[in-house]
A and B are shown apart, each in its own frame.
Chain A
Amino acid sequence: QSALTQPASVSGSPGQSITISCTGTSSDIGGYNYVSWYQQHPGKAPKLMIYEVSNRPSGLSNRFSGSKSGNTASLTISGLQAEDEADYYCSSYTSSITLVFGGGTKLTVL
């Protein structure tokens, strides 16, 4: 049950776009369209941002979008805002019939 691989940190200026990658294997990301993304502010519970690779929960800003190619999923945030500064985690269903998370990416808005 190895964790999915995410960059430790990414940064961008307000108004810019950034992309966070999440790399797995054919047993998780590559094998299923069950990739989700979570945002976590310090001291808070995670919040669902994207599910089933590219779907946004009702009411979530369309500045957040998801995609997948092969064994790698991506989260793109456009029009960066100060409140987007947080930790972001990807997760995927796995053939082990469990859920696996990425190690997390700290987004800094410069």
Chain B
Amino acid sequence: EVQVVESGGGLVQPGGSLRLSCGGSGFTFSDYNMNWVRQAPGKGLEWVSYISSGSRTMYYADSVKGRFTISRDNAKNSLYLQMNSLRAEDSAVYYCARFGGSYHIDYWGQGTLVTVSS
């Protein structure tokens, strides 16, 4: 069974940093491109970042460019999101999401909540 499980969320002060992790199982992690997608409380989905299967290519939403860094360790079946200079508007549930064959997300984790507040 395919599973992706996020961890690392929590409460952080504005300007602070947080590192999210995502573990994949039930599939060959190194074969798949991965994403982070977030959802602020009561709001819609927002794509955050993408990384190719071999880490050659990374893309970011304009709202996080220069502050967030996506990475992965295929040996550990893990995806990461390093979030720096956090702002109140970064508060959201962050989902780890596997890309299917053609720019659609076929598996989502259950999400990890990040709250940026003093």
Residues of chain B lying within 8 A (CB to CB) of residue A3: 44
Verify if B115 is at the interface (C-beta below 8 Å from A).
no
CB pair B108–A52 under 8 Å, yes or no, is no
The chain A residue sitting closest to B109, CB to CB, is A45
Q: Total A-B residue pairs with C-beta atoms closer than 8 Å?
A: 62
Residue total for A at the interface (Cβ-Cβ under 8 A): 26
- Our pick among A1, A38, A98 for the contact of B105 (Cβ within 8 Å) is A38
Known: A98-B59, A99-B35. A34 touches B103 (CB 8 A): yes
In the assembled complex, the Cα of A91 lies from the Cα of B50 at a distance in Å of 15
In the assembled complex, the Cα of A36 lies from the Cα of B106 at a distance in Å of 10
Verify if A51 is at the interface (C-beta below 8 Å from B).
yes
In the assembled complex, the Cα of A57 lies from the Cα of B102 at a distance in Å of 13
CB pair A91–B44 under 8 Å, yes or no, is no
In the assembled complex, the Cα of A76 lies from the Cα of B110 at a distance in Å of 26
CB pair A38–B100 under 8 Å, yes or no, is no
CB pair B110–A45 under 8 Å, yes or no, is yes
The chain B residue sitting closest to A3, CB to CB, is B44
- A35-82: which residues lie under 8 A (CB-CB) from chain B? 36, 38, 40, 45-48, 51-52, 57
CB pair B45–A48 under 8 Å, yes or no, is no
The chain B residue sitting closest to A57, CB to CB, is B106
Residues of chain B lying within 8 A (CB to CB) of residue A48: 100, 104-106
Residues of chain B lying within 8 A (CB to CB) of residue A91: 45, 47, 104-105
Residues of chain A lying within 8 A (CB to CB) of residue B44: 3, 89, 101-104
Verify if A97 is at the interface (C-beta below 8 Å from B).
yes
In the assembled complex, the Cα of A93 lies from the Cα of B59 at a distance in Å of 13
Name the distance in Å between A1's Cβ and chain B's nearest Cβ: 6
B-binding residues in A (CB < 8 A) = 1, 3, 32, 34, 36, 38, 40, 45-48, 51-52, 57, 89, 91-93, 97-104
A-binding residues in B (CB < 8 A) = 35, 37, 44-47, 50, 59, 61-62, 95, 100, 102-106, 108-111
